[in-house]
């Protein structure tokens, strides 16, 4: 397995396009929107490409054998502690699933993918004492949580120049936010989080609708996906007008 120089990522766009699930992530790397790594079996005779997004999401494209999967397994385990970010592989290949299912310290789970089927995004009503604001540098510094722009963007400047986000602010505090977790030339994947004390107030739907409206105005397709146990995200997707269209295996290292 060979790591590709970041200046040459664009050479593997056609491999990114072939990724069946969540290909907005590999495309965001190949098209230069976001940070990530590309590995190939050979630079001179490439048949396989592995895309590893800054967020940790990964996909394999092309023809690959067990030796390539062994190299992927080494990345997942990270025994030498050289990889600071997580590695979560999307695949629908039964042989790949079988390979990893029989390996130590590996979990195999599932992820759901949704398709947006509304042509118009309706207006929203904000609760009193709340303001819906685009995420700028000042507001970005106030967003604290698990799923934030820093989840999938290398730094603030990259997000502010290439991404987009909306946040509900109340009492000067960032209460809920939705943002572009992955960006390609045709799609934008939406990340979302609400502070615990502001949950169950409809804030998630409001910021999500603002983000969907933005995506559609860019002439792109909104993307929604979630872990199969994330019932709240699945319910919100349905409320917003997304339909579940697919699912894949998720392969990752077992949590300590």
The per-residue pLDDT for range 164-180, each reduced to its tens digit, is 999 999 988 999 999 99
| pLDDT, tens digit (0-9, with 9 covering 90-100), for 194-243 | 999 999 999 999 999 999 999 999 999 999 999 999 999 999 999 999 99
- What is the distance between the alpha carbons of residues 73 and 100, in angstroms, rounded to a whole number? 8
Q: Give SS3 for 116.
A: strand
The answer to whether residues 135 and 93 belong to one domain is no
Domains held by the chain: number: 2
Q: Residue 233: inside a domain, yes or no?
A: yes
Last residue of a domain, one of 86, 112, 138: 112
The answer to whether residues 10 and 105 belong to one domain is yes
State the average pLDDT for the chain. Answer: 93
- What is the crossing angle of helices 203-217 and 231-240, to 10°? 50
The answer to whether residues 13 and 81 belong to one domain is yes
- Across the range 26-35, mean pLDDT stands at 97
The answer to whether residues 54 and 97 belong to one domain is yes
Q: Residue 215: inside a domain, yes or no?
A: yes
**Where do we find the tokens 């963007």?**
153
Q: Residue 248: inside a domain, yes or no?
A: no
| pLDDT, tens digit (0-9, with 9 covering 90-100), for 106-117 | 999 999 999 998
The answer to whether residues 231 and 157 belong to one domain is yes
Query: pTM for the whole thing?
Result: 0.93
Q: Residue 253: inside a domain, yes or no?
A: no
pLDDT of residue 128: 83
| pLDDT, tens digit (0-9, with 9 covering 90-100), for 61-82 | 999 999 999 999 999 998 877 7
DSSP class of 127? P
The answer to whether residues 81 and 130 belong to one domain is no
Q: Contact 130/168 with Cβ under 8 angstroms?
A: yes
The answer to whether residues 172 and 190 belong to one domain is yes
Res. 121: pLDDT tops 90: no
The answer to whether residues 126 and 89 belong to one domain is no
Please give the share of the chain, as a percent, with pLDDT higher than 90.
86
Half-sphere CA count of 252, side-chain side, radius 13 A: 19
pLDDT of residue 126: 82
The answer to whether residues 106 and 141 belong to one domain is no
- Across the range 143-160, mean pLDDT stands at 94
Q: Give SS3 for 73.
A: helix
Range of the domain at 124: 118-240
The answer to whether residues 124 and 102 belong to one domain is no
Q: Residue 247: inside a domain, yes or no?
A: no
Check which CATH number belongs to the domain holding 128 and give it.
Answer: 3.40.630.30
- What is the distance between the alpha carbons of residues 96 and 107, in angstroms, rounded to a whole number? 13
The answer to whether residues 91 and 7 belong to one domain is yes
Contacts of 108 by beta carbon, 8 Å cutoff, 6+ apart: 97, 100, 101, 249, 250, 251
Q: Residue 33: inside a domain, yes or no?
A: yes
User: Taking the CB of residue 213, how many other CB atoms lie within 10 A of it?
Assistant: 17
Check which CATH number belongs to the domain holding 58 and give it.
Answer: 3.40.630
């Amino acid at each position: 397995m060979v790591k590709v120089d970041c200046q040459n990522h664009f050479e593997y766009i056609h491999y990114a396009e072939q990724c069946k699930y969540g290909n907005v992530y590999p495309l965001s790397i190949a098209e230069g929107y976001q940070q990530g790594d590309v590995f190939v079996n050979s630079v001179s005779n490439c048949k396989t490409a592995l895309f590893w997004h800054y967020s940790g999401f990964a996909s394999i494209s092309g023809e690959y054998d067990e030796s390539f999967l062994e190299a992927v397994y080494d990345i997942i385990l990270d025994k030498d502690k050289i990889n600071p970010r997580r590695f979560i592989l999307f695949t629908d290949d039964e042989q790949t699933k079988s390979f990893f299912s029989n390996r130590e310290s590996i979990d195999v789970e599932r992820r759901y993918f949704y398709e947006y089927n509304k042509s118009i995004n309706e207006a929203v009503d904000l609760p009193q004492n709340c303001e819906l604001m685009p995420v700028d540098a000042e507001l970005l510094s106030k967003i604290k949580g698990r799923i934030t722009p820093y989840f999938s963007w290398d730094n603030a400047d990259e997000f502010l120049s290439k991404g987009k986000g909306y946040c509900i602010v109340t009492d000067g505090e960032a209460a809920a936010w939705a943002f572009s977790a992955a960006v390609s030339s045709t799609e934008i994947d939406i990340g979302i989080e609400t502070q615990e004390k502001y949950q169950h107030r409809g804030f998630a739907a409001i910021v999500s609708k603002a983000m969907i409206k933005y995506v559609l105005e860019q002439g792109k397709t909104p993307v929604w996906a979630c872990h199969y146990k994330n019932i709240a995200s699945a319910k919100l997707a349905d409320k917003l007008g997304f339909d579940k269209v697919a699912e894949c295996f998720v392969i990752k290292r077992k949590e300590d």
